[in-house]
Amino acid sequence: MVKAGIIGATGYAGAELVRILLGHKEVEIKWYGSRSYIDKKYASVYGNMFQLVEDACLDDNIEALAKQVDVIFTATPQGFLAGVLTEEILESAKVVDLSADYRLKDVEVYEKWYNIKHKSPEFIEEAVYGLCEINREQVKKARLVANPGCYTTCSILTAYPLIKEGLIEPNTLIVDAKSGTSGAGRGAKLPNLFCEVNENIKAYGVSTHRHTPEIEEQLGYAAGEDITINFTPHLVPMNRGILATEYASLKKIKQADGSFSLPTYGQVKAAYEKYYKEEYFIRILEEGVFPETKWVEGSNFVDIGFLIDERTGRIVMMGAIDNLVKGAAGQAVQNMNLLFGFPEQEGLSLVPMFP
């Protein structure tokens, strides 16, 4: 059995890690780390764990934790892991970090967008960006995995094949995304109160959201050049889910008769299938069917649909995920499965909940 420890186990992503790992055949949770609830029974924090978890919460001493487990999940605010990570820790245990500390390869970009000083930039280069469907082989050999953000996972996977195959103009990409309130975390914040969120929808972080450079960096690798996009997130009154609607100008491509014209539905579908046909967790929907967050809730699936708008020469791409599963904890477990050679679906055969 692989022994796992979680720091930040009482946040929403940490709690989702607990829920998933309790159903994993090859993992035993040894450490429920939570600075806010030290010595309190985990089940007293999350009543759904009554008689399922008997352990009490421990602190966030990652050095002590690394000596007791094989893998550490850090579901912590930005800056925590960067401030405590050492070579000794990485020699003792593999680390899957759910924060942004090691996602961006340019430390200056990280410090600009997150407005904090990076305290261990020496580990940035070796960290593997844990988008399993794209970086699977690199993840398998990693010691440190930077688990992607929720908006970024949905946004990148929805557009990646079309950018990689040169079917769209990358710098015309516009990402309009909506998220449930769990994406903001469990902390008490005025904008997230029921009366503030209910019967309301609002944009936030307009042109300044921290996931923007992450999306640009990863899609830039696919394009083979630096790209600039528009990304606007919105908060909607639901618990879970992200729906990203993305727009981009199509490139004219050479057809079989030698002429140049916009890609057909079949050519776009073929691009998606080239990269995702064998990917269990990515579902390319039928023509004319578009994703809904309810279809993926509680699961590790990504649903993708698209429509070619011949009138404007643009394509509309849509992706949906559960922000706490594929957007956080589920993806972290998927990365762990790769790290230890487990079947990628182990612990993640979660049928979406409906209604």
**Mean pLDDT across the stretch 46-74?**
98
**Mean pLDDT across the stretch 226-246?**
97
**Mean pLDDT across the stretch 278-296?**
98
Q: Across-strand partners of 128?
A: 145
Under 8 Å CB-to-CB from 311, ≥6 apart: which residues? none
C-alpha 331: how far from chain center: 6
- Shortest CA distance to 342 belongs to which of 22, 94, 27, 9? 27
The pLDDT confidence band at residue 23, using thresholds 50, 70 and 90, is very high
pLDDT in tens, 250-275: 999 988 889 999 999 999 999 999 99
The mean pLDDT of the chain is 97
pLDDT in tens, 126-137: 999 999 999 999
Q: How many CA atoms lie within 13 A of 309 on its CB side?
A: 12
Q: Is the pLDDT reported for residue 247 higher than 80?
A: yes
Active site residues: 150
Q: Is the pLDDT reported for residue 310 higher than 80?
A: yes
Boundaries of CATH 3.40.50.720 in the chain?
2-126
* Helix, strand, or coil (residue 108): helix
Q: Reply yes or no on domain 151-323 having CATH 3.40.50.720.
A: no
Identify the pLDDT of residue 83: 98
Query: Model-level pTM?
Result: 0.96
Matching residue, tokens 């261990």 = 120
Identify the pLDDT of residue 188: 77
Q: Is the pLDDT reported for residue 328 higher than 90?
A: yes
Angle at 76 between CA 292 and CA 140, to 5 degrees: 75
Q: What is the largest CA-CA distance in the chain?
A: 71
Catalogue the E-assigned strands of the chain. Answer: 2-7, 27-33, 71-74, 94-97, 128-129, 144-146, 174-179, 202-203, 230-235, 242-249, 253-254, 260-261, 282-284, 302-309, 314-321
Identify the pLDDT of residue 129: 98
pLDDT in tens, 25-39: 999 999 999 999 999
Q: Is the pLDDT reported for residue 322 higher than 80?
A: yes
pLDDT in tens, 271-281: 999 999 999 99
To which CATH superfamily is domain 2-126 assigned? NAD(P)-binding Rossmann-like Domain (3.40.50.720)
Under 8 Å CB-to-CB from 146, ≥6 apart: which residues? 97, 100, 101, 102, 103, 127, 128, 129, 130
The pLDDT confidence band at residue 67, using thresholds 50, 70 and 90, is very high
Q: Is the pLDDT reported for residue 187 higher than 90?
A: no
**Mean pLDDT across the stretch 218-231?**
98
Boundaries of CATH 3.30.360.10 in the chain?
151-323
